[in-house]
Amino acid sequence: MTASPLSQRTHYRWFTPITTRWMDNDVYGHANNVNYYSWFDTTANRYLIEACGLDIHRGEQIGYIVHSECFYTSAVAFPDELEGALCVNKLGNSSVEYGVAIFRRGETTAAAHGRFTHVFVNRQSERPMPMAPALRQGLEKIQREAEPS
């Protein structure tokens, strides 16, 4: 069986270390599926804070997740050393769809991969608003080229 291109390290543009914890393991001896969504969120938000200047505590703009999905290809468990991977699949006016994946450190095929969509909203009104210029510029740096139709 051929691995999906979305599960390959070469698909992604940015990586960050993820630390597993003993409590991540469930009764079956591997990381519970809920952890993958947490790692996806951590990966994207670390990028938004570090590379895009998103002020999660006081900024006018915040991101809400409106869609997410995950495909699992192999189990991970504590004490595996992981890497979160990120790219931008689609960039809109107030929304972004990320490609996200979790790799064991140094491996070329993801243990899990997926996507999720952030809509950026005004913190007070919770209504969508155009992305701030620094946010858009940071996301453009990890945007994938459009796939041929």
- Cβ atoms of residues 41 and 65 within 8 Å: yes
Residue at 118 is within a domain: yes
Total tally of structural domains belonging to the chain: 1
C-alpha Rg value of the chain to the nearest Å:
16
pLDDT tens digits, 15-33:
999 999 999 999 999 999 9
Q: What is the pLDDT of residues 105-137, one digit of tens each?
A: 999 999 999 999 999 999 999 999 999 999 999
pLDDT of residue 3: 66
The residue range of the domain holding 123 is 5-140
Flag whether 15 is in a domain.
yes
Please state whether 53 falls in left (phi above 0), alpha (psi between -120 and 50) or beta: left
DSSP 108: S
16 domain residue, yes or no = yes
Specify the CATH number for the domain of residue 31.
3.10.129.10
